Amino acid sequence: MADVEQNAAVPDGSSNESDAVNGTVGRFVSSAEGTALAYGSLLLMALLPIFFGALRSVGCSKNKNASDMPETITSRDAARFPIIASCTLFGLYLFFKIFSQEYINLLLSMYFFVLGILALSHTMSPFMCRVFPANVPNKQYQLLFTQGSGESKEEIVNYEFDTKDLICLGISSVVGVWYVLKKHWIANNLFGLAFALNGVELLHLNNVSTGCILLGGLFVYDVFWVFGTNVMVTVAKSFEAPIKLVFPQDLLEKGLDASNFAMLGLGDIVIPGIFIALLLRFDVSLKKNTRTYFYTSFLAYIFGLGLTIFVMHTFKHAQPALLYLVPACIGFPVLLALFKGELTEMFSFMCAALGIEFSLTRGLIKKKLLESCCSYIFKLTS
């Protein structure tokens, strides 16, 4: 897991080899106000994709299309995931040891440039639908590729989009170019927030037991790779991609050119977030017009992340956030269900495969790329 860290330098060309990475103390000593602002901003940025991603995941369940159902995370997937994540992490570690970081990060920048544009465009789409002027014509377009002719003619790509989609893609492309050229922390955060929100929305657990297996396995994984080896630290120092949220602790002193960052890995948002989103769908299934389990787990996340930041700040060392988030996010809702006598209902709740409504002729490419993006981010940040 890319964990909560302080005094971390975000690669921007000049700070790539800074000594202030992964919780080590840099040359700049931030003020108490700057540190509090950085931690508070990270906490707020972590809560936004969880809250809105969970709400959008409920909308997904209401708009599901039986002809184009996305896969969910099953118990078998959850049990295997820590092993897959470990192999991915160690593979990246070997890559950075053997090959030049410059070429690897250039390839990754291009990869995340494409996926970031799609993720940010999808995130902006509901907002664009609300603010798009009614007097501006919303023209429809279609991108069609076929193979063969006559009766053997087969559709390869059939993607429909409109003017609003083009505007979202245009704005997202500007952010993408900004990130590739400057690696600025604001562009990094825009992509990171989009990845996190899409992850919470598009990645679904099929039941609470699966969530417990997944979080429990990654709890052990996180503690081992952070405290047991230097692999996580090495990868975090070398990897240049928007797989973390950052906020400068020297913003008050240096403004937007600040370079002394606190950071939070996207995995610390997405992994608890998909469990919290599942509990919101469980609340909806109870049909009691309450969101008790959602708000309980949401407050538990705030408590766990706050505790992570407190311990990290006290001991001046990067912390595996899931060490604190997993017991809080699982323990609080389970205790509440036990108190309310709904523990059996909670663990018997089965969530069908859920996803965004995509017809066979609209959004298929975008959906597949977004799912690929979310799964890849999920592995890299776990």
Please identify every residue annotated as catalytic.
222, 268
The values of phi and psi at residue 157, to 5°, are -135, 130
Q: Are strands 5-8 and 261-265 parallel, antiparallel or unpaired?
A: antiparallel
Query: In angstroms, rounded to a whole number, what is the distance separating the alpha carbons of residues 336 and 216?
Result: 19
Could you give the 3-state DSSP secondary structure of residue 5? Answer: strand
Query: In angstroms, rounded to a whole number, what is the distance separating the alpha carbons of residues 78 and 337?
Result: 23
Could you give the 3-state DSSP secondary structure of residue 199? Answer: helix
Inter-residue contact 248 to 15 (CB < 8 Å): no
Among 110, 257, 252, residue whose Cα is nearest residue 177 = 110
- Per-position b or e across 152-189, b if 16+ CB within 10 A of its CB: eeeeeebbebeebbebbbeebeebbebbeeebbbebbb
Query: In angstroms, rounded to a whole number, what is the distance separating the alpha carbons of residues 319 and 316?
Result: 9
